[in-house]
Amino acid sequence: MAWLALILAGIFEMFGVLMINKLHKDKNLKAFLLLVLGFGLSFIFLAYAMKIIPMGTAYAIWTGIALLGERFLA
């Protein structure tokens, strides 16, 4: 379950970064709230995953997922 939470954390991190770009373009409340939601859920899932997975491993995978997502979605 921790690995699934870690993958979800990476996906929500990508979503948060995409919302930063949307907020920069649109500057509206909806984009801001989605940004906060994306990063908030990312940190919640990451914190849950790090209760089982070592911090170094979890952080490396979390940032790797976000980096790949930003690279291919941007």
Considering Cα of 54, then 35, then 18, then 38, what sign does the dihedral take?
Answer: positive
Kindly state the tokens that stand for 43: 């940190």
Check residue 51 and report its DSSP letter: T
Q: Are 64 and 24 in contact (CB under 8 A)?
A: no
Chain-centre distance for alpha carbon 71 = 14
Q: pTM to 2 decimals?
A: 0.89
| Structure confidence at residue 1 (pLDDT) | 95
Q: Is the pLDDT of residue 14 over 70?
A: yes
Model confidence pLDDT, tens digit, residues 60-71: 999 999 888 877
